[in-house]
Structure 1
Amino acid sequence: MFDITKSLAAGVVVLLAAGGVIATGGLDGPPFDASASDTVAGPHNVEASASLESGNVTVQVVDQHQHGVANVSVVVDGNTMGTTDEDGRMAFNLTTATDGDDLTITLEGTDFTASLDYHVTEDGTLVLLEESYEYSRHLEDDD
């Protein structure tokens, strides 16, 4: 005979367990505490890259859905170069980069800061040495 009490109890345990996974950001996301009245603003994960071709550096910033992130400030070795466009791209001339140079690109968005350290190779390409990302989460009020 089918015992509805055990089935309901098992269903509640499964729903509570699933809710715990969702509340902690999913299986692969960072944990965060969000109530029904709070929403998390901005991208939660961004990826950034840069390439060098004929003295021109192109920076690309995309969100977790591979959409470009606009209005990200691009700073190279302390000098502000500009901001990314609606596709998350920004290009600038860097003809002074030569073999053996190291280059630090800092990206400053609304909710994140990224630092990319590159080495310029003999053939004029960039090799990523190290990258780091810091995220800040701003909870919006429904007031």
Structure 2
Amino acid sequence: MSISFSNAVKSDRLQAFTRALDAGSAGGRIKLYGGAQPPAGTTHSQQLLCELTLPKPSASGVTDGILTIAAPFSGMALLDGTVTWCRLTDASGTWVADCNAGGSESSAVFRIQNANGEVFAGGQVIVSQAQLKEV
């Protein structure tokens, strides 16, 4: 059995996502990791490669069923590694979502500026694209 939603409902669902990211007094966070993505929202032992802060509000809106996340401030890589997934939280660290991440040449939801997703300790990390589509 399947369910299909109207465009208005899809838009509302995407906007609910940004309300969760924007909960609290400051912008939400994008925490970038390498390795295998763990089950959604679970505790893991992977080392944080970089943490970026989103502006508040975190999104520039929904157009044609696509939510564009506002460009976060750049951050500094804490360790060398290849970004493969990210955890999104509100400002207090409450889990909102996990998704794939990678380089600018990937098809990941969150793409960093480096083409292959590599980061180097002390180097600047910038998210070049972050769009979510309700299907």
- TM-score by length of structure 1 reads 0.30
Give the structure with higher Rg (CA). 1
- TM-score by length of structure 2 reads 0.31
Higher strand share: 1
Question: RCO (CA 8 Å, sep 6+): is it higher in 1 or 2?
Answer: 2
